[in-house]
Amino acid sequence: MTDTTGLLIMDVDSTLIQEEGIDLLGELAGSGAEVANITHRAMNGELEFGEALAERVALLAGLPDTVFATIRKQIHFTHGVRELVDTLHARGWKVGVVSGGFHETVDELADELGLDYVKANHLEIADGMLTGKVVGEVVTKDVKLASLKKWATELGLELSQTVAVGDGANDLPMILASGIGIAFNAKAVVREQAPYQINTPNLALALDIIQKVRGDI
């Protein structure tokens, strides 16, 4: 038996936070428009995520590692996220994020909210500069799904006891596999397939959906 009553995991960029972190980095690298265009196409499912990530990260080569502190000042939590996390924690849930973004920014955000699980990409840094490469496993749609399953298993939960929230095409597998899959201000390809939708920028509305489906929030 487990003392944990549920697991919610969500995407970070344009879900947990209002911005796309890699687009902010692209602006600082002088490649903002190009990076943003690739991001848009990848999130709509027009590009394979791993290739799109490699292409965008390559444009960041030469940036100093101080850029993470710089963009943190430009990042804003999505409205309602603290209410969502605090309410679920009070009800015995665990909350995590799985992101195609980077640990260099996501870890701090997760710490601020007291999240239980974090999975993201690692940027390669040498001599205080970004090399334009990612090191380790790339967080693709398959890795997002695997993280949902792994964390649920660790907690002794069935997938029916999980919630997944995201906005992009790479979030779809975890959204469809979870007990309550929510498209959050999502791209059309996600809205068309997700069982539930939130089309207002307020993550606390997920509590209403969970209450309606499970009745225990």
- Per-residue pLDDT at 2: 62
HSE (side-chain half, CA atoms, 13 Å) at 127 = 3
Residue type for 134, please? Answer: V
Distance of CA 156 to the CA centre of its chain: 23
Nearest C-alpha neighbor of 96 from the set 141, 135, 144, 50: 144
- Domain 6-214 fold is Rossmann fold (3.40.50)
Q: What is the pLDDT of residues 74-112, one digit of tens each?
A: 999 999 999 999 999 999 999 999 999 999 999 999 999
Q: Is the pLDDT of residue 40 over 50?
A: yes
Indicate the range of 32-36, 120-124, 183-187, 213-217 predicted with least confidence: 213-217
Residues with catalytic annotation? Answer: 11, 13
Residue 95 is given by DSSP the state: E
Q: What is the pLDDT of residues 152-161, one digit of tens each?
A: 999 999 999 9
Q: What are phi and psi of 118, to 5 degrees?
A: -140, 130
Mean pLDDT value across residues 112-130:
98
Tell me the pLDDT of the chain averaged across its residues: 97
- Per-residue pLDDT at 90: 97
- Per-residue pLDDT at 1: 42
**Residue 112: how many CB atoms within 10 A of its CB?**
10
**Helix H or strand E segment including 119:** strand 117-126
Q: Is the pLDDT of residue 117 over 80?
A: yes
Q: What is the pLDDT of residues 146-204, one digit of tens each?
A: 999 999 999 999 999 999 999 999 999 999 999 999 999 999 999 999 999 999 999 99
DSSP string, 164-184: EEESSGGGHHHHHHSSEEEEE
Q: Is the pLDDT of residue 63 over 70?
A: yes
**Residue 42: how many CB atoms within 10 A of its CB?**
24
3-state SS track over 4-55:
CCEEEEECHHHHHECCCHHHHHHHHCCCHHHHHHHHHHHHCCCCCHHHHHHH
